[in-house]
Amino acid sequence: GAVVSQHPSWVICKSGTSVKIECRSLDFQATTMFWYRQFPKQSLMLMATSNEGSKATYEQGVEKDKFLINHASLTLSTLTVTSAHPEDSSFYICSARELSPSGANVLTFGAGSRLTVL
Amino acid sequence: QQPVQSPQAVILREGEDAVINCSSSKALYSVHWYRQKHGEAPVFLMILLKGGEQKGHEKISASFNEKKQQSSLYLTASQLSYSGTYFCGTPRVISNFGNEKLTFGTGTRLTIIP
């Protein structure tokens, strides 16, 4: 099956710094990737849709300038949390869609990146 | 709006059965089910595409009632490995790229004890 690699798996940074998270599709091309955010014991909340070769589309309430998304190739999407603050601490998960045998799109997730901002 | 799952949490002894429900306030095109273990990424279990469809994967099966805008996940003779948080996901169709965004349900935490 499809494999999505996410790096780093965890990162600790100081308030005010920027952090970049990478999401790679290892054995398939992903024109679209999705970035989710998950707080402890809560559900996954879609932040944005990353589209190869074009601008990302953000969900309502997600700051575009805060969470920069770049999808420069068919196998790589990056999320940069700019000027991070403690409230940005969370579990960030990327996913790529894969076509199932039934013809429907299913999501394959990366292992997630736990960000802690001090 | 986020689909609502019930129960929020359930504790079972190994070998017992459980039912997890997912209800949406909007029309459902399909329903996806995922399981997430603590600190890990969600793993795809199954997708139901048509109202009335039922599917099974080992001892985990699901049904989809399109009219009632709900789906149920059935776990029979539960095993320790079934522990985790289960999420249903319902797609919103994006017309521009033909992709599907998933909105995940509120989640159900399942704990299996020996």
Residue B106 has which token pair? Answer: 């509120």
Q: Which residues of A touch B34 (CB under 8 A)?
A: 107
- Single out the residue of B94, B43, A53, A48 nearest to residue B60, CA to CA: B43
Write down the pLDDT at residue A4.
93
Do A42 and B107 lie within an 8 Å CB cutoff? yes
Do A43 and B104 lie within an 8 Å CB cutoff? yes
Q: Which residues of A touch B30 (CB under 8 A)?
A: 104
Q: Which residues of A touch B97 (CB under 8 A)?
A: 31-32, 51
Residue B45 has which token pair? Answer: 């279990």
Q: Over 60: is that where the pLDDT of B96 sits?
A: no
Q: Over 70: is that where the pLDDT of A30 sits?
A: yes
pLDDT digits (tens, 9 = 90+) for B41-92: 899 898 888 766 767 777 899 999 888 899 999 999 999 999 999 999 988 7
| Gap between the Cα atoms of A34 and B99, Å rounded | 11
pLDDT digits (tens, 9 = 90+) for A94-116: 999 877 666 667 788 999 999 99
Do A32 and B42 lie within an 8 Å CB cutoff? no
Do B42 and A102 lie within an 8 Å CB cutoff? no
- Answer positive or negative: Cα dihedral of A109, A115, B2, B8: positive
| Gap between the Cα atoms of A31 and A33, Å rounded | 7
Write down the pLDDT at residue A104.
67
pLDDT, mean over chain A: 91
